[in-house]
Amino acid sequence: MVKAGDFRNGVTVEVNGKICQVIEFQHVKPGKGAAFVRAKLKDIINGGIKEDTFNPDDKFPKAHIERKEVMYLYEDGDLYNFMDNETYDQYSLDAETVGDSLKFVKENTNVKVCSHNGKVFSIEPEIVVELQVTATEPGFKGNTAQGATKPATLETGAVVQVPLFIEEGEVLKVDTRSGEYLSRA
């Protein structure tokens, strides 16, 4: 059990049947009245964020989130197939569970599967990946004082904005959290 008075950033607790991660917290001691804890909680299953206030003595069960490294194998219709790197067991997850978290992930690449009580709720790819540009328009000389960009399609099918000097066949570093071009590889 975790007391609200012991909240810290990143702590995962179960609040009203939902698994929440503490994003921000503040211990408040007003001039009159009892102290309280104001916290910003993120529901890790659906991504919603809410603010709430708690008595510092309120207790919440600690939620253990398991992150396991697995290999993404291939897509088969609406199912995405993975292999456990330790036991070599294969299993599938549906498109709703995976969402768009694999848009920057190539087949046969390691990702982290996040689960709570055996139920998978998200996939975490590497933060920075290297992907090849498969299609982009040629760049234009001049008119580049403002850092102009153009769309480029990567080998996974994802489209990112890149500088005008990037050409087809180049390998780029991409941030998977924001989908932004970082640099050439």
29-79 pLDDT per residue, tens: 888 888 899 999 988 877 788 899 998 898 999 888 888 899 999 888 888
Same domain, 174 and 136: yes
Same domain, 134 and 160: yes
Same domain, 117 and 73: yes
CATH of the domain at 11: 2.30.30.30
Q: How many domains does the chain have?
A: 3
Burial (Cβ within 10 Å: 0-12, 13-18, ≥19) of residue 109 = middle
Q: In terms of pTM, does the model score above 0.75?
A: no
The last residue of one of the domains, among 36, 60, 84, is: 60
Nearest-5° angle of CA 39, CA 43, CA 46? 155
Nearest-5° angle of CA 82, CA 85, CA 86? 130
Confidence of residue 83 (pLDDT cuts 50, 70, 90): very high
- Please say whether the beta carbons of 107 and 121 come within 8 A: no
pLDDT at 123: 84
Count of CB atoms situated within 10 Å of the CB of 1:
9
The last residue of one of the domains, among 18, 37, 60, is: 60
pLDDT (tens digit, 9 = 90+) per residue, 86-117? Answer: 898 888 888 887 878 888 888 888 998 888 88
Q: What are phi and psi of 169, to 5 degrees?
A: 90, -15
Range of the domain at 148: 128-184
Average pLDDT for the chain = 85
